[in-house]
A and B are shown apart, each in its own frame.
Chain A
Amino acid sequence: MPEPIRCRVVTQTGLLFEGRAAGIRAPGYEGGFGVKPRHAPYLVQLEPGRLALLGEDGSERFGLDLEHGYLIIAADECTVLVDSLPSEEPAG
């Protein structure tokens, strides 16, 4: 079984989550997408929707409704920059 993805979710004012996830579901620029370990290097702009970091059993380990952000993944390391959250702009 591949190693889980090391994930960090950060806003301009702090770290929201740091840990490992077996998968990620996120709202991308061209629609929702999923990321599994050993994903190709990927930089994507996030649109309004729910970001979910998943555990081994597919359950949501960490979830966040966001307005705008970026997700970058390379070598099984993922960072999500949350620019703004719903009804709060910019994120803080």
Chain B
Amino acid sequence: MATAKDIKKRIRSVTSTHKITRTMEMVATSKFKRAVARVKEARPFSDTLPSLLAVLADDEEECRHPLLTPRGAVRRVALLLLTTNRGLCGALNTSLIRLAGDFVAEQEEWGRETDLHVVGRKGVGFFRFVGQETASAYTELSDRPGPADAQRFADQMQAEFLSERVDEVHVAFPRFKNAAEHPATVERVLPLNITREEEERSGTVKHYLFEPGPDRMLADLLPLSLRNIFLRYLLEMAASEQGARRTAMKAATDSAREMIDSLTLSYNKARQAQITTELLEVVSGAEALR
């Protein structure tokens, strides 16, 4: 049985862990709030772009642009997997990596090869550890991704698609809902899709005047749309990471608190037992001397 001294040592260690996780929880909470604000601030732009594309699509009988054109036979696809640079964020990276694995297996079943592009140290480290080759690895993404980062990935994926190296581009990312909910999701990015729903959402007004013509504007607007889609993924990723870390650190803090309470109880019991034993020894000694 552990002595009071051993238990006290343990309490001191858990208290120190509790302080660390509590601090990390507070840091993550602050970063999470800022990341969520950035997701919200980016919405007016990303909500308007689809309606612009829908207006252009409405005007054109058939939208012809390489970024919109599906390939006849899909033989090779690219998957951009977004993971975090740092750990301690629960099952966020595990679920993303598992989803990517499932995606690759599914594509294989359909007779397609997958080029895996991995972003984030956690993902890159995992694939290096299991010895699986990746088409590209990027670990320099900051905690606060911006339009320049989105442009980097958009340009890279656009080049892969337009050069016909791949026939489709997909992205695996956590879809941010709230601090605790960010399901791993795979979305097809290229070829881009202008859906009927977006066209309807664009309103009832038709017959726009365009400057320049719709064809030219579409050619200019589609790359911007692609960049904005990637920016949304990166912002959702950052918010999900901080949310997951906050949740994980809160759980760790709560567990440490419970452990401290339980250890304190054990310590008090052990101390009481020690005092009782010592008292008994003193009393028995006194009795023996009488």
Which residues of A are interface residues toward B (Cβ below 8 A)? 8, 10-15, 28-30, 40-45, 70, 72, 74-75, 79, 81, 83, 90-92
A-B residue pair count with CB separations less than 8 angstroms: 79
- Contact call A70/B147, Cβ cutoff below 8 A: no
CA distance A12 to B228 in the complex (A): 7
User: Chain A nearest CB: distance from B143 CB in Å?
Assistant: 15
Instruction: Specify which chain B residues have a CB less than 8 angstroms from the CB of A91 in the assembled complex.
Output: 147
- Contact call B211/A44, Cβ cutoff below 8 A: yes
Which one of A29, A70, A75 lies within 8 Å of B52 (CB-CB)? A70
CA distance A29 to B46 in the complex (A): 22
Residue B45 interfacial (CB < 8 Å)? yes
Interface residues on B, range: 20 to 34
Q: Other than A13-B41, A30-B212, give 16 A-B pairs with Cβ distance below 8 A.
A: A8-B44, A10-B44, A10-B45, A12-B227, A12-B228, A13-B147, A14-B42, A29-B212, A41-B209, A42-B208, A42-B211, A43-B210, A45-B220, A79-B48, A90-B151, A91-B147
Main secondary structure of the interface of A (DSSP, over half): strand
Instruction: Specify which chain A residues have a CB less than 8 angstroms from the CB of B45 in the assembled complex.
Output: 10-13, 81
Residue B205 interfacial (CB < 8 Å)? yes
Which one of A15, A29, A74, A92 lies within 8 Å of B208 (CB-CB)? A74
- Contact call B55/A75, Cβ cutoff below 8 A: no
Instruction: Specify which chain B residues have a CB less than 8 angstroms from the CB of A40 in the assembled complex.
Output: 207, 209
Instruction: Specify which chain A residues have a CB less than 8 angstroms from the CB of B211 in the assembled complex.
Output: 28-30, 42-45
Instruction: Specify which chain B residues have a CB less than 8 angstroms from the CB of A92 in the assembled complex.
Output: 146-148
